[in-house]
Amino acid sequence: MAERDLVEVRLLRLPRKCLLCQGELDYNDELLICPNCGALYHARCVAELVQDMNCVQCGRVSMKRGLLKW
């Protein structure tokens, strides 16, 4: 199973809301995922934040350098 397939399965099982804006996540949105905990964010929400902020859920991964494009 490919990494993206695992993320899609995870998205189906999690509440489908961005942790920043609480808006619904959609497969057509540009999303970013924390590689440590799997937290999902709208790319546009992350772009609006101060770039030194860490993942809201786990606090371990830098929003600027550590999130993976999905």
Over 50: is that where the pLDDT of 63 sits? yes
Give the pLDDT mean for 46-50. 75
Provide the domain count of the chain.
Answer: 1
Over 50: is that where the pLDDT of 1 sits? no
Question: What is the pTM for the complete model shown?
Answer: 0.57
Query: Given this model, what pLDDT does residue 52 score?
Result: 67
Tell me the CATH number at 36. Answer: 3.30.40
Q: Report the chain's mean pLDDT, rounded to a whole number.
A: 76
Residue 31 exposed, middle or buried by CB count within 10 Å (0-12, 13-18, 19+): buried
Of residues 26 and 13, which shows the higher confidence score?
26
Q: Residue 33 sits in which domain range?
A: 3-69
